[in-house]
Structure 1
């Protein structure tokens, strides 16, 4: 057999230079990509919330825009008419509530330390009673934990009020601007994006866009309407008593109700705490408990609103809902807990549609092969 000559020094040097250049190029590309990703994250860090609120506002206003558009007018003018109507309603609402809101908010900030102190005292009495019957819980100081938790909430409210005002001002500019373009060009942009899909997957991508957008529209409108109704029910129910801050407590109950399972429990804590401190454990206190638990949650929400507005749209197992809430809370806090369920619903639709089309194409290909044979 003929012996093959080995690599020369020039070839070894060339291979070494090629490998070195490849590694250096890969490291440079990785570093550039990492820097680019970090730059994009910093540039878009403040846009997540405005875009999310703009999408929600788009889903809420889309039916009204379509209704006005039927009158043989352009879509841009229909959006302008809707914006004018919404602005007029907001102006009337703010003009009606602003004088009462400022006084109520300042009074609540002044009363909050008193409520926390009273709550700590009640919890300490309850803890002493519990420890006298169950000595095993003597090492758990619930009153101290409650006091620290209340002080942290108070500090957050006092420090976050100016920042919240500035952020709300920026949202009032960005959200209407983004929503206008979503309403005007959203469908056209999505169709242009879907047209980039290969011919084999074009129909699947189009169906996914249709089902997901329809699911999200029904879900968002249903959740917002549910929150508004729960807030109004709580506010009206509390107004029959002498409790203070009934409008604030109703708004808080409605907003917290957006978080499944956990939100309703959190939403009733401030009202029950204020009732214990200001009203005692009399008839008005138990009426407030009935308003929160029996009327708003059991009768209105579970028996009326959820079967009509939510169940047919979400259609998720309770375990999946709980996991979506926990994972969303870990990633984005309270906002993640609110959007975790719709994101899980989107993933479910995507998985089912992709499985359906893969099965359809596999059946079609098998039938085509059998015909050729």
Structure 2
């Protein structure tokens, strides 16, 4: 009897959610795609990167086409502009970041000693709040001497890792050449490529897939473009602000602040720690530190209350708990790119659940009922 009930439950589940032929095809397609990404994700990373870039740049090409610019010329102009700006920005930003990271690692032991002096001086500044015993407990808990010894060995380790990764430079160069080429040809021949995919891989009846695609297209496009603009604006404003205050490692900290917007609710909180620590190392607990932290707080408030509503007025509507779970899950699976695409992937999952066809199951006959002949 128990087996019969279990069979009816399973039968009802499949009848409700998988009685539609297109739903079965979509489910198989998603499973196969997931297995492909899991097995060959590292090898196919350039392909996925090129697809995403082509998807983001395609509206600009369409806009130029609307202005009667020839399609091939539009693709060439867009690719040259995008990759040219990216190349120049890399040449300017990356060396500065490398110098600041190296300088920071070198100076960390001295900063820790200064931080220790600051903690020891707190009882004299705030005798009503902090006692000498409490300050000593903090110092013992932090174990600054052990941290300093570990940090002093970081720079040689970083140099060793860099030397060991020199053979991968060829792979990076290949990556940098292949991706722009794929983006160019995807933009140039996207109509032919899409027609080929539709005719060979997708079923003739694809109402469910079309519904999911329509729901996802505008939201994901707005999110990715808006997030890229948000990173640039927040990072640039943070850099200018830190430079005006004379904060050390302003480029490195501004980069961290800009990238922190990728992780809603968590990134800004985490990045506050290095901003505060470097300010404390540089000025101690003085007015300069408080002014910098106030400016940083204003940047975060303007980002959350002004910039985000402007950029994401038509963006995804997800519960904060869903966003955090998506960041943890996809970030754990695919690292940085999983974090970057956590919200679009969560929106994709939500769109599938919203659009998935549900068919009512047939009512089960009541127990003990019989039919008269």
Give the TM-score normalised by structure 2. Answer: 0.69
Partner of 1:342: 344
Residue 64 of structure 2 corresponds to: 68
Contact 1:124 1:143 in 2 (8 A): no
Q: Does 1:318 align with 2:320?
A: yes
Aligned to 1:12: none
Bigger relative contact order, structure 1 or 2 (CA pairs below 8 A, ≥6 apart): 2
Give SS of 2:312's match: helix
Single out whichever of 273-282 and 133-142 deviates more from structure 2: 133-142
Q: Which of 72, 76, 79 is residue 80 of structure 1 equivalent to? A: 76
How far, CA to CA, are the matches of 2:196 and 2:336 in structure 1? 34
Using a 3 Å threshold, how does the CA distance of structure 1 residues 219 and 254 change in structure 2: closer, same or farther? same
Aligned partner of 2:300 in structure 1 is: 297
- Of 33, 42, 54, 2:50 maps to 54
Query: Structure 1 residues 220 and 122 mapped into 2: Cα distance closer, same or farther (>3 Å)?
Result: same
Higher helix content, 1 or 2: 1
1:212, distance to aligned residue in structure 2 (A): 2.0
Give aligned pairs, total: 316
How big is the alpha-carbon RMSD for the aligned residues of Structure 1 and Structure 2? 3.9
How far did residue 265 of structure 1 move? 2.7
User: CA offsets per residue over residues 110-169 of structure 1, 9 Å max, x none?
Assistant: 342322552476379759979945999999656478558856865664345464882653
Bigger Rg, structure 1 or 2: 1
Q: Which moved more, 1:81-90 or 1:228-237?
A: 81-90
The answer for the alignment partner of 1:7 in structure 2 is none
1:266 and 1:143 map into 2 onto residues whose CA distance is 21
Residue in 2 that maps onto 1:173: 177
Where does the alignment leave 5 or more consecutive residues of structure 2 unmatched? 1-33, 123-129, 361-373
C-alpha displacement of 1:94: 5.8
Quick check: 224-233 or 138-147, which moved more? 138-147
Q: 1:222, CA displacement in angstroms?
A: 0.9
Partners of 2:326 and 2:284 in 1: CA distance: 38
Deviation at 1:336, TM superposition (A): 1.9
TM-score (norm 1): 0.69
Tell me the secondary structure at the aligned position of residue 243 of structure 1: coil
- Shift of the 41–322 alpha-carbon distance from structure 1 to 2, 3 Å rule, reads closer
Change (3 A) 1:250 1:52: farther
Residues 118 and 284 in structure 2, CA contact (< 8 A), matched pair in contact too? no
State the distance in 2 between where 1:130 and 1:184 align.
70
Residue pair 1:249, 1:271 contacting (<8 A) in 2 also = yes
Gaps of 5+ in 1: 1-36, 363-373
> Secondary structure of 1:54's partner?
helix
The reply to whether residue 242 of structure 1 matches residue 265 of structure 2 is: no
- How far has the Cα of 1:189 moved from its partner? 3.4
Report how far residue 270 of structure 1 moved: 3.2
Matches within 5 A, 1:345-360: 345-355=347-357, 358=358
Say if 1:194 and 1:206, in contact at 8 Å, map to a contact too: no
Q: CA deviation at 1:338?
A: 2.2
Question: In structure 2, what is the Cα distance between the partners aligned to 1:325 and 1:40?
Answer: 18
